[in-house]
């Protein structure tokens, strides 16, 4: 069964600190992996998308990595800001690309002053 | 504004009732997806349409149905509503069903 597991479930960090969120998946065959940021009560917003041939992709203070061999991805947030408080969702698509995305349950990040 | 428009933003209704949620995809996007997100849960895929035809089906209850119209907007119909149907319902669209998914801001449904 295609699954996406994220850890930790929740995380609290001080403003200005860095953090790394993890994503493991069993989706096969793999097409692409996306990280989304979802503010409470809002729709998810795309941060990065990577295909199997990409190892890393950055979007400002967000850097995603992908190891397609071990089926692991991470999202690193640098110099966190209060506005980074949100759920971060890892989403994996099967190779056909036409099948639905498989969503992780997300990591709830709280950045405090 | 993501370009994906969902209406209404909020909806409160009683058990046993029927409601219709509407989604207008981004201009040029042919594919529409519906997702349900219950409190503190991940997004659950319900159904996908591509250019008016059903493309894929997820964990959609028989009480729920959807369709995509010729102008590509989509409606999700929820009937015989139960308390457990209270959730955020998101619509997403993409040009070809492969890349560039864009989510709407959701409809919050509360069943009382």
Q: With contact defined as beta carbons under 8 Å apart, do B91 and B4 qualify?
A: yes
Spatial separation of the C-alpha atoms in residues B16 and B30, rounded to whole Å: 33
Checking if the pLDDT of A97 tops 70, the result is no
Give the count of Cβ contacts less than 8 A between chain A and B. 53
Per-residue pLDDT of chain B (112 residues; tens, 9 = 90+): 789 999 999 999 999 999 999 999 999 899 999 999 988 778 888 999 999 999 888 889 999 999 999 999 999 999 999 999 999 999 999 887 666 689 999 999 999 9
The nearest CA of chain A is from the CA of B69 a distance in Å of 20
Chain A interface with B: residues with Cβ < 8 Å: 31-32, 34, 36, 41-46, 49, 89, 93, 97-101, 103-106
Question: Residue with structure tokens 């089926």?
Answer: A71
pLDDT of amino acid A39 = 93
The two tokens of residue B73 are: 């907007």
**Most confident of the ranges A40-54, A83-97, B80-94:** B80-94
Contacting residues of A for B50, CB less than 8 Å apart: 98
Confidence of residue A41 (pLDDT cuts 50, 70, 90): confident
Does the pLDDT of residue A81 top 90, yes or no?
yes
Q: How far apart are CA B59 and CA B44, in angstroms?
A: 7
């Amino acid at each position: 069964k295609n699954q996406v597991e994220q850890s930790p479930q929740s995380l609290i960090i001080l403003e200005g600190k860095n953090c790394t969120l993890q994503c493991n998946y069993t989706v096969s065959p793999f097409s692409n992996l996306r990280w989304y940021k979802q503010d409470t009560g809002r729709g998810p917003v795309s941060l990065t998308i990577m295909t199997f041939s990409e190892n890393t992709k950055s979007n400002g203070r967000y850097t995603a990595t992908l190891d397609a061999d071990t089926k692991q991805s991470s999202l690193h947030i640098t110099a966190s800001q209060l506005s980074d408080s949100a759920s971060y969702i890892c989403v994996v698509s099967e190779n056909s690309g036409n099948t639905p995305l498989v969503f992780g349950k997300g990591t709830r990040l709280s950045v405090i002053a | 504004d993501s370009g994906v428009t969902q209406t209404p933003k909020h909806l409160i209704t009683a058990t046993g009732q029927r409601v219709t949620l509407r989604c207008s995809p981004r201009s040029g996007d042919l594919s529409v997806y519906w997702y349900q997100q219950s409190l503190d849960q991940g997004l659950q895929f319900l159904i996908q349409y591509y250019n008016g035809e059903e493309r894929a089906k997820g964990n959609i209850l028989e009480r729920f149905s959807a369709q995509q119209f010729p102008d590509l907007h989509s409606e999700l119909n929820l009937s015989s509503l139960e308390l457990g149907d209270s959730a955020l319902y998101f619509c997403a669209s993409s040009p070809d069903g492969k890349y560039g998914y864009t989510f709407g801001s959701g409809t919050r449904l509360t069943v009382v």
